[in-house]
């Protein structure tokens, strides 16, 4: 999408501009003499351009971090290339949104910038002096920081105008989200279980293990055919709760071992697991009941769900809006 030619009549004049490199002479003090830095256009975004110097400036911190990772030269080169490509795409997106800001005549007052900075300081427990010290450490002048804040506010306002104001999250959608996430809001699942255990000595031979497995598998078949689990547990189980019909109590799902959870998966009340070979011996488990502890009432999380769903829709809509904006714009990457 970024590499399609510029064809708009109003931008034909840019064809000549694209063909010309923008030369910026930068004199830098050295021990020997001054040097010249060649700058050039790396992208055209409608009537705006992005210079190599802009891209390099944004890449500075990322480049330093990548070079500190200790990658081999080839991986470092590929990583720098990918990050550079992503950064250029981000700069293109910013140019497009800034153009929309101008088109919609969005402006903000200095007071709004001041208020935003105060909120940032409060959120990070910064004093004014600490914030300025942090910016100095990062080599960011205060006027440059304020300009970044100004652009962020205007872009947020653009999103509010073009996207957020058109989004509606209905009560029915909130209810559906709530119902579809019982693991988060519906309470914890509890299994009331019974078991039959046929013990197998620690150093039992394969023949003895096979005999124990066949014995408990025969009991399982009788249960499936309709015999009472508790009655068979009292007679045959070698577990500590045999006298109570094998009733071992209720367990929260998260406290059960992965082996038992896997065996219980898909079972409903009144069903029996397949035979499990465990550290204690051969076992089968009977689902006496499946209960769920009291969950979080919908009304207590309605606002939270609305915010979460709204943010997700905003993200999706913004991506779609930006893609549509690119399709309607004239963007050319110049290698």
Give per-10-residue mean pLDDT for the chain (335 aa): 36 32 31 52 94 92 90 93 94 93 92 93 91 89 92 88 88 92 83 96 89 95 95 95 95 93 94 94 96 86 92 88 92 89
All CATH 3.10.50.40 domain ranges in the chain, comma separated: 188-292
Tokens of 53: 């110097």
Question: How far apart are the C-alpha atoms of 234 and 238, rounded to whole Å?
Answer: 9
Name the pairing type of β-strands 247-252 and 189-199: antiparallel
pLDDT digits (tens, 9 = 90+) for 67-113: 999 999 999 999 999 999 999 999 999 999 999 999 999 999 999 99
Q: What pLDDT shows up at residue 263?
A: 95
Q: What pLDDT shows up at residue 266?
A: 92
Q: What pLDDT shows up at residue 160?
A: 86
Helix residue ranges per DSSP H, 225-257? 229-236
Helix residue ranges per DSSP H, 163-205? 171-179, 182-185
Mapping DSSP to helix (H, G, I), strand (E, B) and coil, where does residue 331 land? Answer: strand
Burial of residue 9 (CB within 10 Å: 0-12, 13-18, 19+) is exposed
Q: Are 243 and 234 in contact (CB under 8 A)?
A: yes
Residue 189's contacts (CB-CB under 8 Å, 6 or more residues apart) are 252, 253, 290, 291, 292
Residue 249's contacts (CB-CB under 8 Å, 6 or more residues apart) are 192, 193
Q: Are 274 and 263 in contact (CB under 8 A)?
A: yes
Question: How far apart are the C-alpha atoms of 280 and 282, rounded to whole Å?
Answer: 7
Second CATH level (architecture) for the domain 188-292: Roll (3.10)
Q: What pLDDT shows up at residue 294?
A: 79
Question: How far apart are the C-alpha atoms of 64 and 76, rounded to whole Å?
Answer: 11
pTM over 0.75: no
């Amino acid at each position: 999408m970024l590499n399609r030619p510029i064809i708009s009549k109003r931008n034909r004049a840019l064809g000549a501009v694209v063909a010309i490199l923008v030369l910026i002479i930068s004199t830098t003090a050295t021990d020997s003499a001054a040097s010249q830095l060649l700058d050039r256009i790396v992208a055209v975004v409608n009537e705006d351009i992005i210079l190599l110097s802009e891209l390099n400036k944004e890449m500075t911190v990322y480049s330093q971090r990548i070079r500190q990772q200790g990658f081999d030269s080839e991986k470092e080169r590929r990583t720098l290339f990918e990050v550079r490509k992503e950064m250029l795409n981000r700069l293109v997106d910013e140019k497009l949104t800034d153009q929309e800001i101008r088109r919609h005549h969005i402006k903000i007052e200095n007071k709004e910038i001041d208020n935003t900075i105060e909120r940032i300081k409060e959120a990070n427990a910064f004093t004014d002096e600490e914030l300025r010290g942090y910016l100095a450490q990062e080599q960011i002048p205060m006027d440059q920081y304020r300009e970044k804040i100004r652009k962020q506010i205007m872009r947020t306002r653009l999103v509010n105008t073009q996207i957020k104001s058109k989004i509606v999250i209905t009560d029915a959608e909130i209810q559906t989200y709530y119902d579809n996430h019982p693991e988060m809001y519906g309470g914890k699942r509890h299994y009331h279980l019974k078991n039959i255990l046929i013990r197998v000595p620690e150093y039992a031979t394969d023949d003895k293990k096979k005999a124990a497995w066949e014995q408990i598998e025969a009991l399982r078949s009788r249960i499936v055919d309709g015999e009472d689990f508790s009655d068979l547990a009292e007679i045959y189980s070698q577990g500590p709760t045999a006298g109570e019909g094998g009733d071992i109590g209720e367990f929260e799902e998260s406290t059960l071992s992965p082996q038992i959870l896997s065996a219980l998966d898909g079972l409903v009340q009144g069903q029996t697991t397949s035979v499990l070979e465990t550290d204690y011996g051969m076992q089968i488990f009977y689902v006496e009941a499946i209960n769920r502890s009291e969950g979080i009432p919908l009304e207590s999380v309605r606002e939270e769900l609305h915010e979460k769903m709204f943010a997700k829709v905003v993200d999706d809509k913004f991506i779609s809006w930006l893609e549509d904006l690119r399709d309607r714009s004239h963007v050319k990457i110049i290698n």
